Chains A and B, each alone.
Chain A
Amino acid sequence: MLKVNNIHVSYGKVEIIKQVSFEVNQGEVVVIIGANGAGKTTIMKTVTGLLKPTQGEILFEGQNIARTPAEKIVKLGLAMCPEGRQVFPQHTVYENLVLGGYLIRKDKPMFQKNIEQMYNLFPILKERSKQVAGTLSGGEQQMLAIARAMMSNPKLLLLDEPSAGLAPIYVKNIFDMIQKLSEQGTTILLVEQMANMALKIADRAYVLETGRIALGGTAVEIMNDPKVVESYLGSKKY
């Protein structure tokens, strides 16, 4: 579904991503784990078109989207829930969902169906539909951000650190939701620091280290890799 081939990404003269390749197949949950500053968010921004790679290609369903503007990439069926949630703070919950469904706004029945679906998935959003999003708690904002991304019927959903800054109970909640979305047929590319939680729901995983893919394999392989256990899972067994 998504195939990233040897991309390089720079901010000015500093190259952040060096020769990164990975792929996401239909129906999978793929996770990219890595420390702060490894370049996880940069990869996400590049895939969604907010940043442009200096080299390499990004194929989405066979089409090279490396030079396509971000707003056109969404139309192809690739939505992202950005890092730090980034819900529109002065819009109500409902208005946030309306903006998420901007691309399907002319198809009223579909739009209504999606809203209902999101309200079913996240009942708290229905309760708070008239509330301004800036007043929601972090966990609620994260749910809203995911629901907003799902409004455009994406084939591939990108989630950039959905667990960042959340209370542990919400973290568990969010990962359950991600699993649910995956079971309902959405392909998911996830970037996380919470490696153990993410690996549990993932099919495959990549480890990103200072802008390079250091390791790739099935989630189970990665989970049992001694180096990963030591640096990311923090449960070294003696």
Chain B
Amino acid sequence: MFQALESGMVMGSIYALLALAINIIYSTTGIINFAHGEIVMLGAMFALTFIVTSGIPFLLGLILTCITVAIVAVILYYCTVRPFGDKLGNSLGWLMATLGAGIVFTNIAMLVFGTQPKAFPPIGGSELVKIFGIKLLPHDIWVLVITLLIALFFNVVLGKTILGNAIKATSFSHSVTKLMGISSQKIVLTCFAMSGIIAAIAGILISPITFVGPQMTATIGLKGFGAAIIGGVGNSKGAFAGGLLLGILEALAMTQVTPGYKDAIAFLIMIIAISIKPEGIFGVAYEKKV
């Protein structure tokens, strides 16, 4: 039971990181980046190349991965979102473009890295430690700690800084934000870069769990969207609530049914959550004042 709770929290943290990145982009552009799962996969691929293949020290490799993936995310913005202008609500072009970009990323990864999944060493070695009678990998603790740190960091950035203020302003209106002398384009770019950095970290954190391969995030990516929707799209607190809830429920369900149904159960949870509270846990049905 506690073992299930623990593994649920670990997977939930990863879903939460995916959902957070999806929300950051959604809040300033109003679009869902359907290539996000693949960006996480690219993060894992780059980490594998830097840390395992080239033998670069872990921390340096992590920083390099973050920078590379942030650049990929910015390029993604220029190729799939920018061409559709400021008023993205008026077109659905970005939907096909981001979906397509995801497929392109998967295929590039297949060509460059091959289709065979490769192992990635867990952070802190593979020796099990025992805490309160639960056996866990140091990696699991790292996942929880890093996710918590990212959550706190974003809470401060979004809630207390002028950048957070400007991000919130951009999500209300690009043109009014420009009237404040703030380049809404730069804010959107910053958000894409941040989503890339979170994706890179998420990629490194999942790699030891799923192995590194072009298809590694095919379902995890979808569950990330699910977590974002359960928590309330655009809400960063909701991302964590939704991610953890999904991860824990999924793991608890696994103690009752065979693991083969894992993904089916996860999506069932999503469907139930969405039908009970369509706006998400933290989503508010916002009424416009005339």
Seen from chain A, the residues whose Cβ lies within 8 Å of a Cβ on chain B are: 45, 48-50, 69-71, 74-75, 79-80, 82, 86, 88-91, 95, 98-100, 102-103, 105, 134, 148-149, 152, 165
CB of A48 within 8 A of CB of B179, answer: yes
Residue in A closest to B176 when the chains form the complex, CB atoms: A86
Residues from chain B with Cβ under 8 Å of A95 in the complex:
165
Closest Cβ of chain A: how far from B12's Cβ, in Å?
27
Residues of B within 8 Å of A69, CB to CB, are 178, 183
Q: Tell which of A45, A50, A100, A165 touches B180, judged by Cβ atoms closer than 8 Å.
A: A100
In the complex, which of the residues B169, B176, B180, B290 has the most CB atoms of chain A within 10 Å of its own CB atom?
B180
Is B118 in the interface zone, CB < 8 Å from A?
Answer: no
Query: What are 26 A-B residue pairs whose CB atoms fall within 8 Å in the complex?
Result: A50-B175, A50-B178, A70-B179, A71-B178, A71-B183, A82-B175, A86-B173, A88-B172, A88-B176, A89-B172, A89-B289, A90-B172, A91-B165, A91-B168, A91-B169, A98-B162, A99-B165, A99-B169, A99-B180, A99-B182, A102-B181, A102-B182, A103-B181, A148-B180, A152-B180, A165-B290
Q: Give the CA-CA distance A48 to B168 in the complex, in Å.
A: 22
- Taking the nearest CB of chain B, how far is it from the CB of A9, in angstroms? 15
Q: Are B173 and A75 within 8 A (Cβ)?
A: no
Choose among B162, B176, B178, B183 the residue with the greatest number of A CB atoms under 10 Å from its CB: B176
- CB of B254 closer than 8 Å to a CB of A: no
Closest to A137 in B: B289
> Is residue B253 within 8 Å, beta carbon to beta carbon, of the partner chain?
no
Interface string of B210-247 (1 = CB under 8 A from A): 00000000000000000000000000000000000000
CA distance A75 to B178 in the complex (A): 11
Query: What's the nearest-Cβ distance from chain B to residue A58, in Å?
Result: 16
**B182 cross-chain contacts in A, Cβ below 8 A:** 71, 99, 102
Contact A88 B290 (CB under 8 A): no
Give me the interface of B with A, judged by CB distance under 8 Å.
162, 165-166, 168-169, 172-173, 175-184, 289-290
The minimal Cβ–Cβ distance linking A53 to chain B, given in whole angstroms, is 16
Minimum Cβ distance to chain A for residue B28 (Å): 13
Indicate if the CB atoms of B183 and A98 lie closer than 8 Å.
no
Report the nearest B residue to A51, measured CB to CB.
B175
User: Other than the known A70-B179, A149-B179, what 17 A-B pairs have Cβ atoms closer than 8 Å?
Assistant: A48-B179, A69-B178, A71-B183, A86-B176, A88-B169, A89-B172, A90-B168, A90-B172, A98-B162, A99-B165, A99-B177, A99-B182, A102-B166, A102-B181, A102-B182, A152-B180, A152-B181
Say which residue of B166, B177, B179 sits within 8 Å of A80 (CB atoms).
B179
Residues of B within 8 A of A152 (CB): 180-181
Interfacial chain A residues near B168, Cβ < 8 Å: 88, 90-91
**Which of the residues A82, A89, A90, A105 comes within 8 Å of B179, measured between beta carbons?**
A82
B172 CB contacts on chain A under 8 angstroms: 88-90
> Residue among A48, A70, A82, A103 with the most chain B CB within 10 A?
A70
Contact in complex: B180, A102 (CB < 8 Å): yes
B230, chain A: closest CB distance, angstroms:
22
In the assembled complex, the CB of A21 is this many whole angstroms from the nearest CB of chain B, namely 24
Residue of B whose beta carbon sits closest to that of A84: B290
| A101 vs chain B, min Cβ distance (A) | 9
Shortest Cβ gap from B160 to chain A (Å) = 11
Complex contacts, B175 vs chain A, CB 8 Å: 45, 50, 70, 82
Q: Across the interface, do B181 and A75 meet the contact criterion of CB distance under 8 Å?
A: yes
Return A79 CB to nearest CB of chain B, in Å: 7
For A80, the closest partner residue in chain B by CB is B179
Distance between B49 CB and nearest chain A CB, rounded to angstroms: 39
Q: Which residues of B contact A149 (CB under 8 A)?
A: 179
Q: CA separation between A49 and B173, bound complex, in Å?
A: 15
Name the 5 nearest CB pairs between A and B, nearest first.
A74-B181, A70-B178, A103-B181, A71-B183, A71-B178
Which residues of chain A are near B289, meaning CB under 8 Å? 89, 134
Q: How far is the CB of B15 from chain A (nearest CB, A)?
A: 26
With the chains together, A88 CA to B171 CA distance in Å?
Answer: 10
Q: How far is the CA of A103 from the CA of B165 in the complex (A)?
A: 14
B180/A82 in contact, CB under 8 A: no
- Which residues does chain A contribute within 8 Å of B181, judged by CB atoms? 71, 74-75, 102-103, 152
Q: Are B178 and A82 in contact (CB under 8 A)?
A: no
Nearest B-chain residue to A151, judged by Cβ:
B180
Considering the chains assembled together, what is the distance between the CA atoms of A152 and B173 in angstroms?
Answer: 19
Cα(A99)–Cα(B184), bound, Å: 13
Distance in angstroms between the alpha carbons of A134 and B290 in the assembled complex: 10
What is the distance, in angstroms, from A78's C-beta to the closest C-beta of chain B? 10
B residues within 8 A CB of A91? 165, 168-169
CA A182 – CA B172 in complex, angstroms?
30
Q: Which residues of A contact B177 (CB under 8 A)?
A: 99
A48 partner residues in chain B, CB cutoff 8 A: 179
Establish whether residues B166 and A99, one from each chain, have CB atoms under 8 Å apart when the complex forms.
yes
The complex places the Cα of A91 from the Cα of B166 at a distance, in Å, of 10
- How far, in angstroms, from A165 to B169 measured CA to CA in the complex? 23
